[in-house]
Amino acid sequence: MTTATHEETLGFQTEVKQLLHLMIHSLYSNREIFLRELISNAADACDKLRYEALDNDALYGSDSDLRIEIEHDTKAGTVTVRDNGIGMSRDEVIRNLGTIAKSGTAEFLKQLSGEQQKDAKLIGQFGVGFYSGFIVADEVTVRTRRADAEEGVEWRSKGEGEFTIADIDKAERGTEIILHLKKDAKEFADDFRLRNLVRKYSDHIEVPVRMPKTETAKDDEGNEVEGSEVTTWETVNEAQALWVRPKSEVSDDEYKAFYKHIAHDFSDPLTWSHNKVEGKLEYTSLLYVPGRAPFDLYERDGSRGVRLYVQRVFIMDDAEQFLPLYLRFVKGVVDTKDLSLNVSRELLQKDPQVDKMKSALTKRALDMLKKLAKDKEGYQAFWNAFGSVLKEGPAEDYANRDKIADLLRFSTTYTDTTVQDQSLADYVSRMKEGQQKIYYIIADSFNAAKHSPHLEIFRKKGVEVLLLHDRIDEWLMSHLTEYDGKSLADVAKGNLDLGDIEGEEEKQAQEVTAKAKEDLVKRVKEALGDEVQEVRVTHRLTDSPACVVLSEHDMGFQMRRIMEAAGQPVPEVKPILELNPEHALVTRLETAEDDRFGDLARILLDQAIIAEGGHLNDPAAYVKRLNALLTA
Ligand SMILES: Nc1ncnc2c1ncn2[C@@H]1O[C@H](COP(=O)(O)OP(=O)(O)OP(=O)(O)O)[C@@H](O)[C@H]1O
């Protein structure tokens, strides 16, 4: 008989209340996942005990046989999930089962609005696994004792805003979770159902999941002998670490289920790569590409990295030293013999073995993406979710720049859609005769890129241009200067160079025009003074009267705006104004006098800045000038 003492009733943190409310009222579909979540936690608790016991063998007491047990009582309508893992102290219970410390929870609640409220898919991704018990139970009891504590703790709640906690006697270490099933969830108190669920969700978990099996002796006539029931524990899951098994013996479904376990994701991964490496370094890796981006992909302290095991002993989650930052979306497991069992995050940072594994795993991950790229649809899903993260690659990982370049996808004038689905290899295969460079334009939005005046000559000549409009693009391009022996050129920087696409005659004709317009150019420069670096005539425009360009090595407009928005100092650069000698407005400018000339020249400059997506220093002055011109 246990005696409860030091009993108190505490309120759940507000977020937990919201979450429980959703669990109880909205998440009807896929209710069975509660078992997966509880087994997953129990397995983690066993992993943690095994890890702590490396330093303190006494934690095992007389029971080193780690296991999870599942029992049910049809009459009482209960399901119990029990483990002999690390257990929890009173403080831990209050912290872990009364609050949600993770910042992701608010995000989770936001994502669960509207239609998604009916969808349990997001549970688990935000570390709300335990609470999923309330999908099927109207009361949950947790009885637990930490492996290094004398006293046990009981936690009880109906999921309605508060929970009760008390100290209890508990002989065995570990945690026992008793779900008092709701009326409409009694179906789960069924042996056959539970066994199926364990196999479906937890086969890959290394800790054995046991269920009681009752056998009754039969007499000669085949009738059950009353009172002869013998109950034994039977291991229901495969109970072998999945990555240890040979590839050929693991089914796709098992790989997928394992992914969901380690990534806390409910959707299938896009692909995976499972490898055993022997030789100088010995390790097994199983890497996955998820199908969608986690909420914290762009957060500085977002979770990333692999699960690290040393000789099958779980060491840590989120070991980020094994993959570069630009592959932070990759999930998986690394199990090695080459590290010591008491390795810490600090030690990982300094270990040359880890560096070697990192470069091998990076190659592995890039190869996995290369393979995935053969499946157009799958790769597009990957690119839409993680493309802008992969774009960080060329800057971070110079050695693998070429491999990463092959994996990049862009919007281009060839397709003229926002979908980024064209590779550099696709571009190169379509290059025109005489074209030596890969052209691109960077703008703040797809439309600004697509309609940029800089593209006019390229469209006229049928030369493809990459349309870059992600925030990271200018950063990417500053580190990706060459592909397949061809240099990449920003069409908004420097002099227009179409290489051999233009014939000699064309070039000569342009020189003649430039000469003829020398006077005009000089007058415009005088009128605009310091506001521009230079004025010149151009033949890159067909429809627009003017455009602004930067010098070859100036920081681009996009990067300037990002840095300005971030409050960073940016070096002042003056644009170069290029005029289209064929345009009617430019012709008109030539015949204008004095003030009118000055106004027109400024309007051309301001318009060129606007067309490129920039902001005017004095927009009201522009409007005034334009209005004066319109009413003249
Ligand atoms: N069986 C258990 N034994 C020991 N501790 C547990 C057990 N179940 C839950 N916990 C503790 O409660 C915490 C909260 O559990 P919960 O499932 O809500 O989130 P999580 O496990 O941290 O996240 P996720 O479910 O995404 O892995 C766990 O991190 C763990 O510390």
What pLDDT, in 10s, does the model give residues 212-252?
998 888 888 888 888 888 999 999 998 888 999 999 999 99
Sheet with 576-579: strands ordered across: 534-537, 576-579, 546-549
Cα separation, 409 vs 407, whole angstroms: 7
Task: Check whether 1 has a pLDDT greater than 70.
Answer: no
Which residues, 6 or more positions from 602, have their beta carbon under 8 angstroms from its beta carbon?
Answer: 527, 528, 622, 625
Give percent of the chain with pLDDT exceeding 90.
62
Residues 6+ apart with CB under 8 A from 132: 23, 33, 34, 37, 38, 120, 123, 124
Q: Are strands 534-537 and 576-579 parallel, antiparallel or unpaired?
A: parallel
What is the token pair recorded at 235?
């291991």
What tens digit of pLDDT does each residue of 361-392 get?
999 999 999 999 999 999 999 999 999 999 99
pLDDT over 90 (residue 300):
no
Examine the pLDDT at 622 and tell me if it is beyond 90: yes
Radius of gyration of the chain (CA): 33
- Looking at residue 36, its pLDDT comes to 86
Most ligand 1 atoms within 8 A of CB, residue of 15, 40, 93, 96 to mutate: 96
Residue 477 confidence (pLDDT) = 94
Q: Is 143 in the pocket of ligand 1 (CB under 6 A)?
A: no
Written as one string, the DSSP assignment of 478-545 is HH--EETTEEEEETTBSS---GGGS-HHHHHHHHHHHHHTHHHHHHHHHHHGGG-SEEEE-SS-SS-S
Q: What pLDDT is attached to residue 101?
A: 60
CA of 271 to the centre of ligand 1 (A): 27
- 127 CB near ligand 1 (under 6 Å): yes
Residue 109 has pLDDT above 90, yes or no: no
Q: Place 107 in a pLDDT band, splitting at 50, 70 and 90.
A: low
Q: So what's the pLDDT on residue 126? A: 54
In short, whether 130's Cβ falls inside 6 Å of ligand 1 is: yes
- What is the pLDDT, as a whole number, of residue 102? 61
| Cα 129 to averaged position of ligand 1 atoms, centre (Å) | 7
- Strands 331-336, 306-310: pairing kind: parallel
pLDDT given for residue 627 in this prediction: 93
Q: What is the pLDDT of residue 266?
A: 77
pLDDT > 70: percent of the chain: 94
Question: Among 61-65, 67-71, 329-333, 495-499, which is the least confidently predicted range?
Answer: 495-499
Q: Is the C-beta atom of 96 inside 6 A of ligand 1?
A: yes
Going by pLDDT thresholds of 50, 70 and 90, the confidence category of residue 317 is confident
Confidence of residue 394 (pLDDT cuts 50, 70, 90): very high
Residue 258 has which token pair?
Answer: 């394992």
Mean pLDDT score, 523-547 = 92
| pLDDT given for residue 470 in this prediction | 93
* Pocket of ligand 1 contains residue 175 by CB under 6 Å: yes
Q: What mean pLDDT do residues 430-455 have?
A: 93
- Is the CB of 89 within 6 Å of ligand 1? no
Determine if ligand 1 sits within 6 Å of the CB of residue 68.
no
Ligand 1 center to 262 CA (angstroms): 13
Candidates 173, 176, 169; CA nearest to 143 is 176
**Contacts of residue 466, Cβ cutoff 8 Å, sequence gap at least 6:** 410, 411, 412, 422, 427, 438, 439, 440, 441
Report the pLDDT value the prediction gives residue 229, as an integer from 0 to 100: 87
Residue located nearest, by CA, to atom 11 of ligand 1? 96
Over residues 411-440, mean pLDDT: 95
The confidence score (pLDDT) of residue 88 equals: 97
Least confident window among 101-105, 185-189, 319-323, 561-565: 101-105
Mutating to test ligand 1, I would choose from 44, 99, 145 the residue with most ligand atoms within 8 A of its C-beta, which is: 44
Spatial distance between the Cα atoms of 338 and 424, rounded to a whole number of angstroms: 39
Question: Can you give the pTM of this predicted structure?
Answer: 0.79
**Is there a contact between 235 and 208 (Cβ–Cβ < 8 Å)?**
yes
**Mean pLDDT over residues 561-575, rounded?**
82
* pLDDT tier, 520 (very low <50, low <70, confident <90, very high otherwise): very high
Q: How far is the CA of 96 from the centre of ligand 1 (A)?
A: 7
Question: pLDDT band at residue 114, thresholds of 50, 70 and 90?
Answer: low
Average pLDDT, the chain: 89
Q: Which of 31-45, 268-282, 387-401 has the lowest mean pLDDT?
A: 31-45
pLDDT for 61 beyond 90: yes
pLDDT above 80: residue 497: no
| 129 ligand 1 Cβ < 6 A | yes
**What domains can be seen in the chain, in order of their start residue?**
4-217+226-235 (3.30.565.10), 242-385 (3.30.230.80), 409-501 (3.40.50.11260), 504-630 (1.20.120.790)
What separation in Å is there between the alpha carbon of 369 and the centre of ligand 1?
32
Q: Strand, coil or helix: what is 390? A: helix
Residue 305 has pLDDT above 60, yes or no: yes
37-53: average pLDDT = 92
Q: Does residue 533 surpass a pLDDT of 80?
A: yes
Q: Among 102-116, 232-246, 562-576, which range has the highest average pLDDT? A: 232-246
Q: How far is the CA of 88 from the centre of ligand 1 (A)?
A: 10
* DSSP type of residue 366: H
Cα–Cα dist 205/201, whole Å: 9
Ranges 184-193, 288-297, 522-531, 552-561: which has the least confidence: 552-561
Lowest-pLDDT choice from 263-277, 294-308, 436-450 = 294-308
pLDDT given at position 395:
94
**Crossing angle for the helix pair 594-611 and 584-591, to the nearest 10 degrees:** 150
